[in-house]
Amino acid sequence: MTFLRETPSKDINLIMTAQTNTAAAAGTWDLGNLTVNRIGFGAMRLTGSVAFGPGIPGDRDRSIGVLRQAIELGVNHIDTAAFYFSPHLSANELINRALAPYPDDLVIATKVWPARDPSGAWWWATPEQLRGQVEENLRQLGRDHLDVVNLRVPPSRKTGSIADHFGALAELRDAGHIRHLGVSNVTPEQLAEAQTIAPVVCVQNSFGIGASAGQQELLRSCGEQGIAFVPFFAIAGAGREAGATATEHEDVLAIARAHGATPAQIRLAWTLRRGPHVLAIPGTGNPHHLAENVAAGTLRLSEDEMARLQSLG
pLDDT at residue number 277 = 98
pLDDT at residue number 20 = 58
Q: Can 84 be counted among the known catalytic residues? A: yes
What count of Cα atoms within 13 Å lies in the side-chain half-sphere of residue 228? 31
Instruction: Let me know if 212 is exposed, middle or buried by CB neighbors in 10 A (0-12, 13-18, 19+).
Output: exposed
pLDDT at residue number 5 = 44
CA distance 174 to 92: 24
Helix ranges (DSSP H) in 11-153: 12-16, 60-72, 91-99, 130-141
For residues 55 and 252, the answer to whether their CB atoms sit within 8 Å is no
pLDDT at residue number 119 = 87
Instruction: Let me know if 181 is exposed, middle or buried by CB neighbors in 10 A (0-12, 13-18, 19+).
Output: buried
Q: How open is the CA angle 123-128-132, to the nearest 5 degrees? A: 70
Residue 14: Cβ within 10 Å count: 22
CA 279 from centre of chain: 8
pLDDT at residue number 236 = 66
Q: Cis omega (within 30 of 0) on the bond before 276?
A: no
Characterize the bridge pairing of strands 122-124 and 146-152: unpaired
CA distance 176 to 218: 30
Residues 197, 198, 204, 207: is their CA dihedral positive or negative?
Answer: positive
Domain at 9-310: CATH code = 3.20.20.100
Helix axes 213-225, 188-195, angle to 10 degrees: 20
pLDDT at residue number 10 = 40
CA distance 305 to 237: 18
3-class secondary-structure state, position 139: helix
CA distance 58 to 71: 20
- Which contiguous run of DSSP H or E holds residue 181? strand 178-184
pLDDT at residue number 251 = 95
Tens of pLDDT, residue by residue, the chain (313 residues): 233 344 443 443 444 444 556 899 999 999 999 999 999 999 999 998 555 454 556 799 999 999 999 999 999 999 999 999 998 899 999 999 999 999 999 999 999 999 999 888 999 999 999 999 999 999 999 999 999 999 999 999 989 999 999 999 999 999 999 999 999 999 999 999 999 999 999 999 999 999 999 999 999 999 999 999 999 989 965 544 444 555 788 999 999 999 999 999 999 999 999 999 999 999 999 999 999 999 999 999 999 999 999 998 6
pLDDT at residue number 12 = 37
CA distance 143 to 188: 32
Instruction: Let me know if 9 is exposed, middle or buried by CB neighbors in 10 A (0-12, 13-18, 19+).
Output: exposed
Residue 109: which of 53, 171, 166, 151 has the closest Cα? Answer: 151
Contacts made by residues 51-54, CB under 8 angstroms, sequence distance 24+: 51/81, 51/83, 51/84, 51/241, 52/241, 53/241, 53/242
Catalytic residue among 29, 41, 83, 84: 84
CA distance 206 to 211: 8
Main-chain phi, psi angles of 302, to 5 degrees? -75, 165
